[in-house]
Amino acid sequence: MRILIVEDEPKTGEYLRQGLTEAGFVTDLVRDGVEGLQSALAEIYDLIILDVMLPGMDGWSVLTQIRRAGKDLPVLFLTARDHVDDRVKGLELGADDYLVKPFAFSELLARVRTLLRRGVKASAAEFLRIADLELDLLRRRVTRAGRRIDLTAKEFALLELLLRRQDEVLSRSLIASQVWDMNFDSDTNVIEVAVRRLRAKMDDDFDPKLIRTVRGMGYVLEIPH
Ligand code: CA
């Protein structure tokens, strides 16, 4: 189990890193928000411990960006400010739990273990499949014929939508609203471009081709007959 710690206070960060390492976790410690976000998006973690007050970018913004990128791993907030508003804000933004500083390490470890158990339980039902293509919702991984396929967050979201509604023709406007959270603008070819890129990664080198263009209507993910 790999944990990302984003904490700028050296003493607290080191205390967390050491304690979690001794408890058997693999840990990465970064000291500012921008670096924290970059690590969270580039690497695969099972959990993030995120301080609120950080240089570069605050914890709220880091969390918002992580969720916007489609990452649903558990996030435990550390807040020094014991205000109800802060806790509510954190939970609204998609944090899974919070801890007010100063805290006992045993308390933190208990919260971490609870959050990780929750994640493992969910994973059993969190695969979407068609033919030899598999999408792992929890780990945000896609494989085809056992080969790992690297997708951007948007490509992943697009494939997830197509998989959830496989055999159904999805219009460009529906895709735009679901994946890009925008109203369809006929001048933009953002969807065509995204579908082309997705195909290049998951269809071009494989058979059968799973994404079909339905002229004038949209796209469908299906096993061709
Ligand atoms: Ca701080």
Q: Which residues on adjacent β-strands are paired with residue 50?
A: 6, 77
**pLDDT of 124:** 47
The CA 53 to ligand 1 mean position distance, Å, reads 4
Identify each DSSP E strand in 80-209 by its residue range.
Answer: 97-100, 127-130, 133-136, 141-144, 147-149, 170-171
Going from the Cα of 8 to the center of ligand 1, the distance in angstroms, rounded, reads 5
Give the length of the chain.
225
State the distance from the centre of ligand 1 to the C-alpha of 116, rounded, in angstroms.
24
SS3 105: helix
Q: Which one-letter amino acid corresponds to residue 149?
A: I
Cα 86 to ligand 1 centroid, rounded to whole Å: 14
- pLDDT digit string (tens) for the chain, length 225 residues: 789 999 999 999 999 999 998 887 888 999 999 999 999 999 888 899 999 999 999 999 999 999 999 888 999 999 876 666 777 777 778 788 888 888 889 989 989 988 887 765 444 457 889 999 999 877 789 999 999 999 988 898 899 889 988 999 999 888 887 777 566 665 568 889 999 999 999 999 999 999 999 998 999 999 998
What pLDDT, on the 0 to 100 scale, is given for residue 60?
Answer: 92
Q: Would you tell me the crossing angle of helices 153-164 and 190-202 to the nearest 10 degrees? A: 80
Q: Tokens at residue 145, please? A: 């014929």
Domains of the chain: 2-119 (3.40.50.2300), 149-221 (1.10.10.10)
For residue 110, how far is its CA from the centre of ligand 1 (angstroms)?
22
The pTM (predicted TM-score) of the whole model is: 0.54
pLDDT in the model for residue 50: 96
Which pLDDT value is given to residue 120?
53
CA 147 → CA 205, 211, 221, distances in Å? 11, 18, 19
